Amino acid sequence: MLSKKGERVELSMTRTLMTIENVSKHFGEVEALRDISLEIKSGEVVGLVGSNGAGKTTLLRLMSGVYKPTSGTVCLEDGTPVDKMRQKLGVVPESTGLYSRLTAWENIRYHSRMHGIDDKTSWSRTSRFAKELDMLENLGRHTKGFSRGMKQKTALLRALAHGPSVLLLDEPTAGLDITSARTVRALVKQLRDEGGTIVYSTHHLAEAEQVCDRIIIIHNGDIQADGSPSDLLNQTGDENLEEAYVSLTQEKARSRNEDSESEGRFTRWWRTLFTPKTPKIKAVVNEDE
């Protein structure tokens, strides 16, 4: 919340906007998350920090209603499961999923209409945040020729246009240049200062320290720590967050296997049909991908 002079005003009472209770998620025999419980309160930036495969993306997808938990519940403040009230959420996934033949504004407008938001309201919010992101002049351009940074900014505008209660960001600065990443972080801080609630997934501790009021460290499907940056340092007795993270995640990180549900019979049949048993050409790995 902002005062008339633009100064941040602390909220006298914080509300619990989302409750995750005893949540586990399995993919076949793989246990991606194990008995996770936490609350997301209004007016805070919550950082989800962990290595690849720790369970961050799985937890975000559970929060957004894309995945359903194997056990446990993910509910909004009125007790409604998140998959029944997705219009209260703004989501920026790791892959932006923009329609390349549409302009930036057309992508945003289409998304807003799906949430029942009229064009005037959507444009008002979009143009305001587009100025902050230096995107206003690009809203009429087709996204096919956009850079990674411009696509990410468009996805962020799309997530904000319907006025969500909680904003979920999955690696929002991944692949961005320094200037674009700084711009995104600045907007996140601004939203927080205006009373917004953001869940911010990242594997960069320095970024989490800059942006987040609270940091949740996830490792091998478990929550290892939950608190402010100073709380984590006090808990471990370390001098910086990197050392604290190492102290809290001594167990070797598992391989990443949180990205997909188990294959169905048709998928297995299709893959078998078009995959030769003994490939004649050795695959070349592109390390840049």
pLDDT in tens, 115-171: 999 999 999 999 999 999 999 999 999 999 899 899 999 999 999 999 999 999 999
Indicate yes or no: pTM above 0.85. no
In a domain, 272, yes or no: no
In a domain, 35, yes or no: yes
In a domain, 231, yes or no: yes
Sign of the dihedral defined by the CA atoms of residues 10, 11, 12, 15, in that order: negative
Backbone angles phi, psi at 83, to 5 degrees: -70, -10
Cα–Cα distance measured from residue 14 to residue 50, given in angstroms and rounded to the nearest whole number = 26
Cα–Cα distance measured from residue 233 to residue 214, given in angstroms and rounded to the nearest whole number = 12
According to the model, what pLDDT value does residue 73 have?
Answer: 96
Please give the biggest Cα pair distance in the chain.
Answer: 69
pLDDT range class, residue 269, cuts 50, 70, 90: low
94 is in which domain, residue-wise? 16-264
What CATH number has the domain bearing residue 124? 3.40.50.300
Q: What is the DSSP string of 197-221?
A: -EEEEES-HHHHHHH-SEEEEEETT
Structure tokens at 236: 């471990």
In a domain, 274, yes or no: no
Cα–Cα distance measured from residue 77 to residue 165, given in angstroms and rounded to the nearest whole number = 10
- The total of structural domains in the chain comes to 1
In a domain, 88, yes or no: yes
Structure tokens at 20: 């995750």
SS3 sequence of 109-133: HHHHHHCCCCHHHHHHHHHHHHHHC
Torsion-angle region of residue 6: left (phi > 0), alpha (psi -120 to 50) or beta?
left
According to the model, what pLDDT value does residue 82 have?
Answer: 92
In a domain, 271, yes or no: no
pLDDT in tens, 197-250: 999 999 888 899 899 999 999 999 999 999 998 899 888 888 888 888 888 887
DSSP state of 28: T
Q: What mean pLDDT value characterizes the chain? A: 84
In a domain, 121, yes or no: yes
Task: Please check whether residue 134 is in contact with residue 156, taking contact to mean a CB–CB distance below 8 angstroms.
Answer: no
According to the model, what pLDDT value does residue 282 have?
Answer: 46
DSSP state of 9: -
In a domain, 282, yes or no: no
